């Protein structure tokens, strides 16, 4: 997995590089979404389409929701999209950015060569651009619909709150860094499945589908980079640090797939939906509802590569 760079280097024997990451670093200029022209979002907006799939609204089949006016339901769907974007932006800023920043500084002292450092720094540019893309998408929804829908009314992403709690309880800065790397790894390797929730469905707003599709294209490359970097760091760790990293992966997977209704609660309150809290409580306790879980196949593959698939304490089934 760890290979020498394809180009001769001044100290090719001493620095850690990776052929996979080297290839991705070399074609960033051509493949990264940030390097493309900005799409004309206004042209793509279709007022007749849904801003967010009802399949992702946990109370879409509940009577309280079904009997709301068409306008209120449309507004709640628009809120669903705003909240989806806020979740992506929160994760980019507070999970992915700090995790990549640690790698860029070689905080784990892997003796990283320039090609890995460049690839990680390119990914950080992409991530900052994804935040901009999702902010633009929310701003367009607000402008085209004429509704305020300010994400500042919404709580910080539940995943980010979980990460903050884990960081605060870490025994030292070394454990905190390993946990930060683990959360970033989970985010980068499984975000594509979260983005895929906005299906390529004719009913859904074309701008929103385009935003997610463009973001996702970058993330397939980031998943490769994150997977490779996690493996390189893992191989350099002692057994105690490996345990901390694996516990962080398990914690991260749990955090990313936990149901967090605090955002919907804030939205329903904002819109003054009568019976909203009761509806959320009923949906939350209704075991029949299918959970929207993340796809952790990528993390499982990573664990298999590291030969720790059974050590991590996760029921993969």
Select 1 or 7, whichever has its Cβ closest to a second copy.
7
* Contact criterion met (CB below 8 Å) for 103 and 120: yes
The residue among 204, 262, 202 whose CA lies nearest residue 77 is: 204
Select 140 or 178, whichever has its Cβ closest to a second copy.
140
Task: With H, G, I as helix, E, B as strand and everything else as coil, classify residue 112.
Answer: strand
Return the residues of window 12-41 that contact a second copy according to CB under 8 A: 28-29, 34-35, 37-38
Quote the radius of gyration of the chain (alpha carbons, Å).
21
| Least separation in angstroms between CB 120 and a second copy | 10
Work out which of 13, 71, 152, 290 binds a second copy, going by CB under 8 A: 152
Taking CA atoms, 149 is separated from 260, 273, 277, in Å, by 19, 15, 19
* Contact criterion met (CB below 8 Å) for 161 and 93: no
Q: Is position 132 an interface residue for a second copy (rule: CB under 8 A)?
A: yes
* Cβ neighbours, 10 Å, residue 102: 18
The residue among 184, 257, 182, 190 whose CA lies nearest residue 220 is: 190
Work out which of 143, 165, 278, 316 binds a second copy, going by CB under 8 A: 143
Return the residues of window 36-65 that contact a second copy according to CB under 8 A: 37-38
| Least separation in angstroms between CB 81 and a second copy | 15
Output phi, psi for 140, to 5 deg: -65, -45
Q: Is position 135 an interface residue for a second copy (rule: CB under 8 A)?
A: yes
3-class secondary structure per residue, 76-88: HHHHHHHHHHHHH
Q: Residue 307: left (phi > 0), alpha (psi -120 to 50), or beta?
A: left
DSSP string, 167-189: HHH-SSHHHHHHHHHHHHHHHHH
Work out which of 49, 72, 121, 155 binds a second copy, going by CB under 8 A: 121
| Least separation in angstroms between CB 124 and a second copy | 5
Q: Is position 257 an interface residue for a second copy (rule: CB under 8 A)?
A: no
Select 30 or 290, whichever has its Cβ closest to a second copy.
30
Q: Is position 72 an interface residue for a second copy (rule: CB under 8 A)?
A: no
Q: Is position 101 an interface residue for a second copy (rule: CB under 8 A)?
A: yes
Q: Is position 131 an interface residue for a second copy (rule: CB under 8 A)?
A: yes
Helices (H) and strands (E) in the chain, counts: 14, 0
Work out which of 11, 43, 307, 315 binds a second copy, going by CB under 8 A: 11
| Least separation in angstroms between CB 36 and a second copy | 8
Work out which of 20, 117, 213, 250 binds a second copy, going by CB under 8 A: 117
| Least separation in angstroms between CB 188 and a second copy | 16
Work out which of 20, 23, 72, 93 binds a second copy, going by CB under 8 A: 93
Strands, E, within the chain: which ranges? none
């Amino acid at each position: 997995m760890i290979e020498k760079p394809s180009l001769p280097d001044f100290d090719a024997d001493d620095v850690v590089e990776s052929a996979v990451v080297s290839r991705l670093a070399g074609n960033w200029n051509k493949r990264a979404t940030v390097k493309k022209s900005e799409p004309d979002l206004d042209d793509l907006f279709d007022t007749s389409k849904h801003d967010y799939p009802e399949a992702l609204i946990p109370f879409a089949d509940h009577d309280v929701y079904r009997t709301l006016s068409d306008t209120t339901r449309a507004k709640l769907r628009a809120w669903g999209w705003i909240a989806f974007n806020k979740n992506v932006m929160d994760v980019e800023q507070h999970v992915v950015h700090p995790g990549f920043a640690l790698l860029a500084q070689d905080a784990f002292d892997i003796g990283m060569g320039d090609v890995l450092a460049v690839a990680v720094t390119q990914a950080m540019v992409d991530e900052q651009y994804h935040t901009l893309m999702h902010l633009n998408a929310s701003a367009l929804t607000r402008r085209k619909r004429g509704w305020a829908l300010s994400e500042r009314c919404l709580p910080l992403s539940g995943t980010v709150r979980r990460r903050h709690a884990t960081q605060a309880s870490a025994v030292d800065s070394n454990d905190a860094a390993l946990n930060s790397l683990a959360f970033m790894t989970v985010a980068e390797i499984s975000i594509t499945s979260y983005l895929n929730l906005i299906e390529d469905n004719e009913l859904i707003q074309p701008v929103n589908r385009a935003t997610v599709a463009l973001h996702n294209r970058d993330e397939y490359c980031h998943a490769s980079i994150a997977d490779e970097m996690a493996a390189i760091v893992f191989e350099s760790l002692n057994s105690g640090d490996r345990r901390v990293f694996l516990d962080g992966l398990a914690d991260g997977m749990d955090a990313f797939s936990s149901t967090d209704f605090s955002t919907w609660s804030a939205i329903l309150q904002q819109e003054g939906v009568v019976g909203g809290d009761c509806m959320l409580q009923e949906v939350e306790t209704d075991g029949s509802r299918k959970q929207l879980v993340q796809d952790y196949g990528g993390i499982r593959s990573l664990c298999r590569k590291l030969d720790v698939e059974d050590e991590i304490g996760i029921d993969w089934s």
